[in-house]
Amino acid sequence: MHNEKYLIVAVDQQGNEVGLESYAGHIENDEVTFECKSQARSFYNKIKEELFPHSVKLLTIKES
């Protein structure tokens, strides 16, 4: 059975990762992940606007 998680990452215009700690609160393993797609999408939409012009991506991780 495959489980999905949703990972949010942000990078600046030079390709350096932008920390999301101040937006997400507690972060496990330096990653912002969600198990619920709707929660991930909501967080992504908020962060995408707040961090403009940085690039924010919502990635799906499939675990087996």
How confident is the model over 28-50, as a mean pLDDT?
Answer: 90
Q: Look up the pTM and report it.
A: 0.81
Q: Residues 6 or more apart from 27 whose CB is under 8 A from it? A: 20, 21
CA-wise closest residue to 44 among 4, 3, 5, 6: 6
Amino acid at 37: K
- Reported as a single tens digit per residue, the pLDDT across 2-37 is 789 999 999 999 999 998 888 887 666 678 999 999
Q: Give the per-residue pLDDT at 64.
A: 75
DSSP 7-53: EEEEE-TTSPBPP-HHHHSS-BTTBEEESSHHHHHHHHHHHHHHTTT
